[in-house]
Amino acid sequence: MSDTIVAAATPPGRGGIAIVRVSGPATPQIGVSVLGKLPPPRFATAAKFRAAAGAVIDDGLALYFPAPHSYTGEHVLELHGHGGPVLVEALIRRLLELGARRAQPGEFTQRAYLNGKLDLAQAEAVADLIDAASDAAARAARRSLEGEFSRRVLVLSEILGELRADVEAGIDFADEQIDVLSEDSLRVRLEEAAAQLAALRVASRQGRLLTEGMTVVIAGRPNAGKSSLLNRLAGHDAAIVTTMPGTTRDLLRERIVLDGMPLHVLDTAGLRSAGDDIEAEGIRRARAAMAGADRILFVIDAAADPAAAGYLEERALLPPEVPVTVVFNKIDLTASSAAACEPAACEPAPAGIATVRLSALTGEGLDTLATHLKACMGFEHGGTDALSARARHLEALTRVDAHLLQAAGQLATRSAPELLAEELKRAQQALGEIVGADSSDELLGRIFARFCIGK
């Protein structure tokens, strides 16, 4: 990275203060040109920011961080001036004249990663911290930024590496008089690794929900009040509501923040025998949406179907891996009132299913639904154990789990030890993807393109 980059590190628009950040090898020379001299390292120094002819563009504070003791690991200069868009752009133009170029989204953090200041999981946590929509999400991002997620990944990778080394030693020195691990010892250590992985997956899934939001699909029979529930959650008329069955033909999507909890809510076509090709397509899309959801809210008309026969008839067709909450709607038309959801009911018990009773018309029971969804996302504990994670992290951990299952199977059937070692190797490689041990330029481009410019 031989070029020097510049960008505003504060949001566009008017404000009390704006920060312009420079990073790269030419930073010291640029600093001397625009300030007259470099300020002492890591000391906020009052300075005037000057144009080529010596005229003052703005005045404020200058901070200089010589490499490698900076955020990016390069020479970094921050100019803190007045928060006017005209002043900020004039200052950036002056820095461009002096040899800098405009930074791309996330380029400062990308340089921090490439220079070993952060690993890839920590770099992604920077963006998650900026985008956090709740205190719980911010805490999860902070834990990952401080390295807790990476530490647990690396500890697990080290355990698997040691296990793999012992297996390969047994292969390479089969004819030598050396101590090798017994099958029982291998099995115990493999089970310990699997337990650590399971705990890491739980914390990561919760963190992903806190960061990216839970995808909730509202499903059920026609006229159960699905669109009314969406409108009540959204706080406006997002969906058309009529008494005519089949009004909703396509997916309706709303991003909602419920008590600080990010939700992606999808309203779907009523599940029934389709009356025409358009409705049939809507039902097909509804089932596809349910398969990709984090939770299904299956809405029942409590007055017309108090025994939830509609859910019982559809249960076999619902995706088995997606948890379901049965929502008894229209309790204003019955003698029932809203019942609180116990946190333990957030995952369906073998003999039952999580249920909530409410009225989308009057709003009764909406607080019960909010409490229920927060419990399912881990909000009831403030997300204290969550680790900020993304879909790619969860996919990698899923692959690790699959490789460990294969390894356990190889061990149980006493297959060739080479196959066991290979599964452990692949599990390690999947863990390495999380922290960026071997990341392609294409992956880095996708990750850092999501960042804001200036970070």
pLDDT at 67: 95
Pairs from 302-311 (Cβ < 8 Å, separation ≥ 24): 302/328, 302/329, 302/330, 302/331, 302/333, 302/334, 302/336, 302/357, 303/330, 303/333, 303/334, 304/330, 305/221, 305/224, 306/334, 310/220, 310/221, 310/224, 310/271, 311/220, 311/353
pLDDT at 342: 44
Question: Is the predicted pLDDT of residue 442 greater than 80, yes or no?
Answer: no
pLDDT at 192: 93
pLDDT at 240: 46
Q: What's the distance, CA 294 to chain centroid?
A: 13
pLDDT at 109: 93
Question: Lowest-confidence range among 8-12, 133-137, 143-147, 224-228?
Answer: 133-137
Which residues, 6 or more positions from 14, have their beta carbon under 8 angstroms from its beta carbon? 83, 84, 85
Question: Is the predicted pLDDT of residue 445 greater than 80, yes or no?
Answer: no
Of 75 and 334, the structure prediction assigns the larger pLDDT to 75
pLDDT at 3: 94
The CB density around residue 135, as the number of other CB atoms within 10 Å, is 13
- The answer to whether the CB of 246 falls within 8 A of the CB of 220 is no
Residue type, 6: V
pLDDT tens digit sequence for 352-377? 688 999 998 898 998 898 888 888 87
Q: 86: closest CA among 57, 52, 122?
A: 57
Strand 56-65 relative to strand 76-83: parallel, antiparallel, unpaired?
A: antiparallel
Question: Lowest-confidence range among 62-71, 392-401, 444-453?
Answer: 444-453
Question: Is the predicted pLDDT of residue 346 greater than 90, yes or no?
Answer: no
pLDDT tens digit sequence for 231-288? 888 776 654 444 444 444 456 888 887 766 778 888 877 776 655 667 677 777 888 8
pLDDT at 347: 40
Of 312 and 449, the structure prediction assigns the larger pLDDT to 312
The strand pairing partners of 296, in sequence order, are 217, 324
pLDDT tens digit sequence for 374-405? 888 766 555 567 888 888 999 999 999 999 99
Can you list the domains of the chain with their CATH numbers? 5-118 (3.30.1360.120), 124-209+390-435 (1.20.120.430), 215-381 (3.40.50.300)
Quick one: which H or E segment has residue 313? helix 309-314
Of 255 and 4, the structure prediction assigns the larger pLDDT to 4
Question: Is the predicted pLDDT of residue 339 greater than 50, yes or no?
Answer: no
pLDDT tens digit sequence for 72-119? 999 999 999 999 999 999 999 999 999 999 999 999 999 999 999 999
pLDDT at 262: 79
Of 107 and 317, the structure prediction assigns the larger pLDDT to 107
pLDDT at 383: 54
pLDDT tens digit sequence for 19-30? 999 999 999 999
pTM (global) more than 0.75: no
Rounded alpha-carbon distances, angstroms, from residue 308 to 274, 283, 312, 365, 425: 21, 20, 6, 18, 49
Look over the chain and give the mean of its residue pLDDT values, rounded to a whole number: 84
State what percent of residues in the chain have pLDDT above 70: 85
How much is the CA Rg of the chain, to the nearest whole Å?
Answer: 28
Residue 345 DSSP code: G
Quick one: which H or E segment has residue 19? strand 15-23
pLDDT at 345: 41
Which range has the top average pLDDT, 52-61, 269-278, 326-335? 52-61
